[in-house]
C-alpha cells in the first residue's frame, strides 16, 4: 500500500478510491458498491458488480465508466474521462481496467493487442467437467441469425481458452463444476461460447444456456500485467463473490490463497 491509498504490485481485496466507496445508482443495481483495487496516475482497476454496463448502450443507464469518473472528480479532484481497456458483459462481475490518461492509453492498449495481459475467471458450469486442465481451441464468429450471439464455426477468428477443473458436485442433471478459466484470446463471449459448445454452459447464462436465480456465474477474478510506464509487475485480484462461496465454501483453499472472500452487501 502506498501513500495515497493506492495499491501497487500485488493487490487483492478491497480498497476505496481516495478512501471512499462510490454508490452506483443503476436500474440493475441501486446502491451497489464499487471497490477500487488499484490506482495510479495512468491506470485504475475496479471490481465491477453484476448488472452494470461498462459502456453505454443507448438506454440511458448509468455506466461503470461514468461512476469511476464521478468518483475521481469528487474524491480526488481529478477531472478525467476514464477509458475502459477491456469489456465485461453486463452480467459478468470482476476486474475492469481503466486508462486515466489519454496520452498514455496507447501503451496499455498495446499490451492487450500483443496478448501480454493475463486474465483469470471463475465459472460455475452445468455438468461434470473432466478432471485436470485442457485448452479449447475453437474459432468464433457472429451468429448471422441472432446478432446477440457468437458461435463456433470454421470461418471464425482463432479463439483459445485454457480451462482447469477446481471442484465438482452433484450427479447427472444436478451436476455442477467450478472452473478456473483463462482466455488466451479476447473474443466476444469467448468463455461462454466455448464452454457451452463443449456441453458445459455457465449457470445462469440465458443466452447460451438457461437462466438461474443468482444470475450469470462468471467472475473476472484476476489480471496480471507489466505496467508499461513504471515497469512494475501488477498481479491484481478481487475478493471472492459471495455467490461463488455460497456454492463452494472451500473455494479460498482451492485457489491457494489467491484472493480473499467478500462479505455480502
**What value does the mean pLDDT take over residues 20-49?**
66
Return the pLDDT at 203: 96
Catalytic, 47? Answer: no
In this structure, what C-alpha cell is assigned to residue 161? 481458452
- State the pLDDT confidence band at 10, using cuts at 50, 70 and 90: very low
Query: What does the pLDDT look like over 139-191, one tens digit per residue?
Result: 999 999 998 999 999 999 999 999 999 999 999 889 999 999 999 999 999 99
List 40, 47, 89, 205, catalytic entry: 89
Estimate to the nearest angstrom the gap between the alpha carbon of 139 and the chain centroid: 22
Return the pLDDT at 12: 46
Return the pLDDT at 78: 63
Of the candidates 95, 99, 74, 89, the one whose C-alpha atom is nearest the C-alpha of residue 22 is 74
CB burial readout 117-137, b (16+ within 10 A) else e: bebbbbbbbbbbbeeeeeebe
In this structure, what C-alpha cell is assigned to residue 158? 482463432
Note the pTM of the prediction, 2 decimals: 0.85
d(CA 68, CA 127): 38
Average pLDDT, the chain: 84
d(CA 177, CA 147): 29
Higher-scoring residue by pLDDT: 218, 2: 218
**What value does the mean pLDDT take over residues 37-52?**
93
Amino acid at each position: 500500500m502506498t501513500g495515497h491509498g493506492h495499491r501497487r504490485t500485488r493487490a487483492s481485496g478491497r480498497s476505496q478510491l481516495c478512501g471512499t466507496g462510490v454508490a452506483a445508482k443503476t436500474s440493475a443495481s441501486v446502491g451497489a458498491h464499487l471497490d477500487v483495487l488499484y490506482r495510479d496516475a495512468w491506470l485504475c482497476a475496479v471490481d465491477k458488480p453484476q448488472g452494470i454496463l461498462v459502456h453505454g448502450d443507448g438506454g440511458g443507464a448509468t455506466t461503470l465508466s461514468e461512476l469511476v469518473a464521478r468518483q475521481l472528480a469528487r474524491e480526488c479532484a481529478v477531472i478525467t474521462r476514464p477509458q475502459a481497456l477491456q469489456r465485461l458483459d453486463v452480467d459478468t462481475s470482476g476486474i475492469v481496467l481503466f486508462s486515466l490518461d489519454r496520452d498514455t492509453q496507447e501503451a496499455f492498449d498495446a499490451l492487450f493487442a500483443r496478448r501480454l495481459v493475463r486474465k483469470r475467471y471463475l465459472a460455475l458450469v452445468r455438468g461434470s467437467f473432466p478432471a485436470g486442465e485442457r485448452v479449447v481451441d475453437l474459432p468464433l464468429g457472429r451468429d448471422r441469425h441472432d446478432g446477440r450471439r457468437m458461435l463456433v464455426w470454421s470461418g471464425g477468428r482463432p479463439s483459445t481458452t485454457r480451462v482447469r477443473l477446481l471442484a465438482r458436485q452433484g450427479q447427472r442433471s444436478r451436476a455442477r463444476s467450478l472452473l478456473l478459466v483463462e482466455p488466451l484470446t479476447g473474443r466476444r463471449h469467448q468463455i461462454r461460447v466455448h464452454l457451452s459448445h463443449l456441453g458445459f454452459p455457465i449457470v445462469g447464462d440465458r443466452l447460451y444456456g438457461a437462466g438461474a436465480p443468482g444470475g450469470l456465474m462468471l467472475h473476472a477474478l484476476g489480471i496480471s500485467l507489466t505496467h508499461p510506464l513504471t515497469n512494475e509487475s501488477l498481479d491484481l485480484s478481487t475478493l471472492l463473490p459471495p455467490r461463488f462461496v455460497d456454492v463452494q465454501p472451500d473455494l479460498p483453499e482451492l485457489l491457494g490463497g489467491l484472493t480473499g472472500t467478500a462479505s455480502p452487501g
